């Protein structure tokens, strides 16, 4: 019975994504008492549906990793979602605005995983030892909810607002950088709109990947070799519009760009 309810909520959110239209949050429209645990079951239905359609997982991603976002949402734990192959935009490429609802962009550090990482008890140092490379990325989030208005269970059910990702092309050794000291700026049409450092991500971006491994362990899952994982935003998110030229500068880690067409 409840399983059917989760499937119905998943269909509601998948339709919103496919039809590029915003909807009322699940807790207002379909299930006011949705818990975070149930929301991950809804997310799971969405993931399975995409897999059945032949979509491929690029990797999980962490969201709400900054203290500012957690405080804003009244939560003390980040969330995760999944990035799929159809969400990838090539570096320097075009993001078609009309494929999306009300996109925002944020600057993140991505980890290419070299060995499986299985929780519980994983630490940031263990993550770094099992990371093949790190690279800069711009994540485009696009909540399916009207005005990005949601509660924690709503956003978990909505695959953590995941929509598109532009990965940089320079893969660097994690040993070559103090990732917590990396400074990123996010510019739109040549104007810096947001900036931040790696330490904004749970003190160090590797801590976010460790937390992800530990959260996945609760449901008997692990981070897998070859996954490319977004660790969470260094900067605030900036609203996008047609014609925007977007650039993320990550110091020695490199640059990521795209335009909105």
Q: What's the CA gap between 39 and 27, in Å, rounded?
A: 10
Helical ranges in 150-253 per DSSP H = 152-157, 205-217
Q: What's the CA gap between 200 and 149, in Å, rounded?
A: 23
Nearer to ligand 0L1, 84 or 148 (CB): 148
| Binding letters toward Mg ion, positions 180-219, x by CB under 5 A | ----------------------------------------
List the interface residues with Mg ion, window 49-68 (CB under 5 A): 63
Q: Which entry of ligand 0L1, Mg ion, none binds 155, CB below 5 to 8 A by partner kind?
A: ligand 0L1
Closest CA to 157 of 21, 45, 50, 5: 45
Q: Give CA torsion, residues 29, 35, 36, 42, to 10 deg.
A: -60
Q: What's the CA gap between 42 and 202, in Å, rounded?
A: 26
Q: Is 163 in the site for ligand 0L1 (CB under 6 A)?
A: no
List the interface residues with ligand 0L1, window 176-235 (CB under 6 A): 233
226: Cβ contacts below 8 Å, ≥ 6 apart: 112, 113
Element (H, E) at 28: helix 26-29
Compute the least distance from the CB of residue 192 to Mg ion, in Å: 19
Q: Which entry of ligand 0L1, Mg ion, none binds 143, CB below 5 to 8 A by partner kind?
A: ligand 0L1
Q: Is 45 in the site for Mg ion (CB under 5 A)?
A: no
What angle do helix axes 2-19 and 36-52 make, rounded to 10 degrees?
60
Q: Is 17 in the site for Mg ion (CB under 5 A)?
A: no
Compute the least distance from the CB of residue 162 to ligand 0L1, in Å: 7
Q: Which entry of Mg ion, ligand 0L1, none binds 13, CB below 5 to 8 A by partner kind?
A: none
Q: Which region among 40-48, 135-143, 171-179, 185-193 touches ligand 0L1 (by CB under 6 A)?
A: 135-143
- Pair 174, 133: CB distance under 8 Å: yes
Q: Which entry of Mg ion, ligand 0L1, none binds 165, CB below 5 to 8 A by partner kind?
A: none
Q: Is 43 in the site for ligand 0L1 (CB under 6 A)?
A: no
Binding residues for ligand 0L1, per CB under 6 A? 63-64, 139, 141, 143, 148, 155, 160-161, 233, 237
């Amino acid at each position: 019975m409840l399983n059917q309810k989760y499937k119905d909520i998943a269909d509601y959110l998948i339709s919103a994504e496919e039809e590029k239209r915003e909807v009322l949050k699940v807790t207002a429209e379909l299930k006011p008492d949705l818990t975070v645990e149930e929301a991950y079951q809804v997310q799971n239905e969405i993931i399975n549906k995409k897999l059945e359609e032949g979509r491929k997982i690029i990797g999980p991603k962490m969201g709400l990793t900054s203290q500012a976002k957690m405080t804003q949402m009244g939560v003390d734990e980040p969330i995760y979602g999944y990035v799929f192959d159809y969400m990838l935009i090539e570096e320097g490429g075009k993001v078609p605005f009309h494929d999306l609802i009300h996109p925002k962009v944020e600057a993140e550090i991505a980890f290419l995983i070299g060995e499986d990482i299985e929780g519980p008890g994983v630490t940031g140092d263990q993550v770094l030892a099992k990371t093949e490379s790190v690279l800069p990325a711009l994540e485009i989030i696009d909540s399916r909810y009207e005005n990005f208005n949601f509660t924690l269970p709503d956003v978990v059910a909505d695959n953590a607002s995941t929509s598109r990702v532009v990965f940089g092309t320079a893969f660097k050794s994690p040993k070559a950088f103090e990732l917590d000291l990396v400074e990123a700026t996010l510019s739109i049409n040549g104007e810096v709109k947001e900036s931040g450092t790696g330490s904004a991500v749970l003190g160090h971006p590797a801590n976010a990947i460790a937390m992800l491994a530990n959260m996945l362990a609760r449901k008997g899952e692990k981070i897998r070799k070859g996954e490319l994982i977004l660790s969470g935003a260094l900067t605030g998110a900036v609203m996008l519009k047609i014609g925007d030229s977007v650039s993320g500068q990550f110091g020695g880690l490199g640059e990521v760009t795209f335009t909105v067409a």
